[in-house]
Amino acid sequence: MHDEQGRVRGMVESSQADRGARPAELEAIIRGRRSVRRFRPDPVPRDAVERILEAGRWAPSPHGSQPWRFAVLTRPEIKARLAEAMAEAWLHNLAMDGEPEEIIAKRLAGSRRRLLEAPVLILLCLYLGDLDRYPDPERQAAETTMAIQSLGCAAQNMLLMAYSLGLDGGWMCAPLFCPDVARAALGLPETVIPHALLTIGYAAADPRRRERRPLAELIVKDA
């Protein structure tokens, strides 16, 4: 226990020491984080990747079950394999939606470029093996929903940590539409369900920021 506490304390102190390029205040980090789609080819240090993963590990989860598993992809041939497999599945979906061929080609090219340009891809997978079990489907469905919500918490932790380290990230949910395809492309066990991809690297340009709705529009009750 003491070793673990010391390690965490050391990580916090180290993080505080090298945040010079980004604001240390939590609110500024939250507001500063942006969704980046174009990255420079500069490699991401392995220790930064591990700190991003560590941030995800500390996200809240139902019963402390940590119902996530992470696949880290940095090798170009592995990223290309995943991109090609998902592109084939997405091509089928877009065709069913009646999209024009030129629009399909443009969207597929943009998605593929995002996966190949990002120095690091982190595939977030749902893992249901440690969840509580209930005899009725309603509560079991709620248990699964809690796990999915906590996976989003892990993703946010990772994105904020990446930004605080001077990196940038993007959130892609393409694997959610073809989990079996993503799993097979990477040779992952059937116990994990691919849900989302985080693209991590150094931004090639400042992205366009979307406006947020006024807070008053988001509060449906304040009693």
Contact 157, 59 (CB under 8 A): yes
Judged by DSSP in three states, 68 sits in strand
**What was the pLDDT predicted at 63?**
93
Give me the DSSP letters along 203-221: BSSPPPPPPPPPHHHH-S-
Domain 33-203 -> CATH class? alpha beta
Which pLDDT score, from 0 to 100, does residue 16 have? 46
The pLDDT assigned to 149 comes to 97
Q: Are 194 and 221 in contact (CB under 8 A)?
A: no
C-alpha 163/C-alpha 219 separation (Å) is 28
pTM of the entire predicted model: 0.85
Q: What integer pLDDT is reported at residue 10 of this predicted model? A: 53
Domain residue spans of the chain = 33-203
CA dist., res. 160 & res. 59, Å (int): 12
State the Cα–Cα distance between residues 75 and 64, nearest whole angstrom: 32
Q: How far apart are CA 58 and CA 68, in angstroms?
A: 11
CA-atom Rg of the chain in angstroms = 19
pLDDT value, residue 14 = 52
Q: How many CA atoms lie within 13 A of 223 on its CB side?
A: 2
Q: Are 54 and 7 in contact (CB under 8 A)?
A: no
The alpha carbon of residue 38 and the mean position of all alpha carbons in its chain are separated, in whole angstroms, by 16
Distances (CA, A) of 85 to 89, 112, 178, 200: 7, 10, 9, 20
Mean pLDDT by 10 residues, the chain (223 residues): 49 48 79 94 97 98 96 97 90 75 81 93 97 96 97 98 96 94 97 98 91 94 94
DSSP 77-143: HHHHHHHHHHHHHHHHHHHHTT--HHHHHHHHHHHHHHHHHSSEEEEEEEE-TTS---SSHHHHHHH
